[in-house]
Structure 1
Amino acid sequence: MSASGGPRRPGTQRDGTRRVSRHRGEALLGERDPRPPSRPDAARARHRLALGGLAVVLLVLTGFVLARTLHPVDEPADVRPAPEGPVVREAPSGGDLADTVVPTIPTAELPAGGDFPVSGRGTWRVVPGTTPLVGQGRPYTYTVEIEDGAVLAEGDQAFAAAVDATLGDPRSWAGSGQIALRRIDAAAAAGRAPDFRVSLSSQLTTRARCGYQIRYEASCWQSDLGRVLINGARWVRGAGAFEGQLGLYRQYAINHEVGHVFRNPHVPCGADGALAPVMMQQSFGVSDDYLAQLTDSSPQGGEIPRDGKVCRPNAWPFPTGR
């Protein structure tokens, strides 16, 4: 009813005036215009829908790229087989072998490690000390010497002790039943020269006196001077074929070079998988094929066959006894 008590029409105020919507032209909340949209409205709706879908795709792709950047996925490894056979490679420091084909096995390379004596004066001092005669057979005397100017971190006496322990071992040449060994020093010699000298020498002195045609570090026996030169670089670093067993390599180096004193030549691997003969050039490697190719241009006093045999490193002339 109206304020005057009579009935009032829908949409009018109590004072009889019409009620006006605050949101003219807008549908009320929850209302929906039942009429289909006009063609332009439908096109705009489809356009908005397409843009929305594209935005979602771009958002997903952006998230994927960010995820790959922040959390990279491990790619599958390249499983192609490595090339086999010899390759041409750069020469190690000290020589040019760029035109030489060498095998891929890198065991002749000097391993990484500590500092070693690079140069010395080319003269040697005798380390004091003597040992009793060890072994049976013809007696040989030797001295232990260090090149002047060449310094070992462990000292002269440590080198001498390693030489004595190696040559006095029954697996060494003293175990042959034909050789007896005794260390003397300058005082014990009394003016008489030893049969041979085991001399720790610097890298450059060893290269100059032993030769450096193969361009890898080696030790040697100088028969005209009666001197075994143990290369200080190898003494400190060892050889790749010995896989970090420095003590075993040092025993090998001593026994191998002293073996030349007794006129033993270089020999190849005897049987595949067997212990290498001590007179095999294990400082370079324990593969016959590798040594054969390495020494082709500079023969080392014994032919090495390309027979595929690979031995295990060994330090002793008689590893299982005489």
Structure 2
Amino acid sequence: MRITYPAHGHQEWAVAPAGETVGDEGRLLRYRVAVERDIDGVGAGAFAEMVSETLGDARGWTAGGKFRFRRVGPGQRADFTVYLATPDTRDKLCAEGTDGYTSCRNGGNVVLNVARWVKGVPRYGAGSLATYRQYMVNHEVGHKLGNGHQLCPGPGRAAPVMQQQTLGLHGCRPNPWPYPDGHRLYAGRSGTYDDPLPHRDTGTR
């Protein structure tokens, strides 16, 4: 089904029901999943299942044995919330100026911009939209887990999941996973590139 959305949403949310715990050991983090009601074509339940599958993947953040994740439902206590938000609501939740393009993590807000969820990014190499969506989840949750931005470790290498792959790969290959072979990927140096920010999204309707 085609996903449509306006640039400006009303910050009203559909919250997904509770789900299973993923991961076998480590600190338990409870998370909520919410989809802005202005977004059509993806329900909170379907979006939450994709988030849960990504967090529970053997290549994801549970692989290090430090974290487990449990999806909670409406009204239940959560350590963070994963939002699928319109571009303008993204700016409000991120509280870092008018961006409208990227996603972010701000305190307990893990904010995924629906414009990137639908359109992906240009120049993402051989990475598919599904791969990019997994990257979005793992990158922003990675910030919640205390990880900062990292640089490409070298041409042709897999990009660290904490590299800002949305803005540029800088010779690396797309990679959405922190533990792509069950082991932590070489992380590269800490830092960011001076990549220009593309124009903000104006919505699809």
- Report the TM range for the smaller structure's normalisation: 0.7 to 0.9
Instruction: Note the residue ranges of structure 2 that are not aligned, 5 or more in a row.
Output: 184-205
More helix, by proportion:
1
The alpha-carbon distance between structure 1 residues 173 and 242, as it changes in their structure 2 partners (threshold 3 A), is: same
Partner of 2:150: 267
Partner of 2:182: 321
**How many angstroms does 1:278 deviate by?**
0.2
The alpha-carbon distance between structure 1 residues 212 and 285, as it changes in their structure 2 partners (threshold 3 A), is: farther
Give distance in 1, aligned partners of 2:92 and 2:44. Answer: 23
Would you say the 8 A contact 2:90–2:100 is kept in 1?
Answer: no
Would you say the 8 A contact 2:84–2:113 is kept in 1?
Answer: yes
- In structure 1, give the amino acid aligned to 2:23: V
Partner of 1:165: 53
Matched, 1:176 2:60: no
Partner of 2:201: none
**How many angstroms does 1:156 deviate by?**
2.2
3-state secondary structure, aligned to 1:242: coil
Computing the radius of gyration over CA atoms, which structure comes out larger, 1 or 2? 1
Would you say the 8 A contact 2:35–2:43 is kept in 1?
Answer: no
Give distance in 2, aligned partners of 1:184 and 1:285. Answer: 34
- After TM superposition, what 4+ stretches of structure 1 lie above 6 angstroms from structure 2? none
Partner of 2:89: 205
Instruction: Note the residue ranges of structure 1 that are not aligned, 5 or more in a row.
Output: 1-112, 288-309
- In structure 1, give the amino acid aligned to 2:109: R
The alpha-carbon distance between structure 1 residues 152 and 131, as it changes in their structure 2 partners (threshold 3 A), is: farther
**How many angstroms does 1:135 deviate by?**
3.2
> Percent identity, aligned pairs only?
39
Matched, 1:119 2:8: yes
Matched, 1:196 2:84: no
3-state secondary structure, aligned to 1:258: helix
Aligned residues: 180
Partner of 2:113: 231
> For 1:142, which of 31, 50, 53 is the aligned residue?
31
Give distance in 2, aligned partners of 1:172 and 1:314. Answer: 11
Give distance in 2, aligned partners of 1:254 and 1:152. Answer: 20
The alpha-carbon distance between structure 1 residues 179 and 282, as it changes in their structure 2 partners (threshold 3 A), is: same
CA-atom RMSD in angstroms: 2.0
- In structure 2, give the amino acid aligned to 1:127: A
> For 1:242, which of 124, 144, 155 is the aligned residue?
124
Partner of 1:278: 161
3-state secondary structure, aligned to 1:254: helix
Would you say the 8 A contact 1:143–1:183 is kept in 2?
Answer: yes
The alpha-carbon distance between structure 1 residues 321 and 265, as it changes in their structure 2 partners (threshold 3 A), is: same
Give distance in 2, aligned partners of 1:133 and 1:316. Answer: 16
3-state secondary structure, aligned to 2:21: coil
Partner of 2:195: none
What TM-score do the two structures reach when normalised by structure 1? 0.52
Partner of 1:129: 18
Give distance in 1, aligned partners of 2:91 and 2:136. Answer: 16
Would you say the 8 A contact 1:117–1:232 is kept in 2?
Answer: no
3-state secondary structure, aligned to 2:161: coil
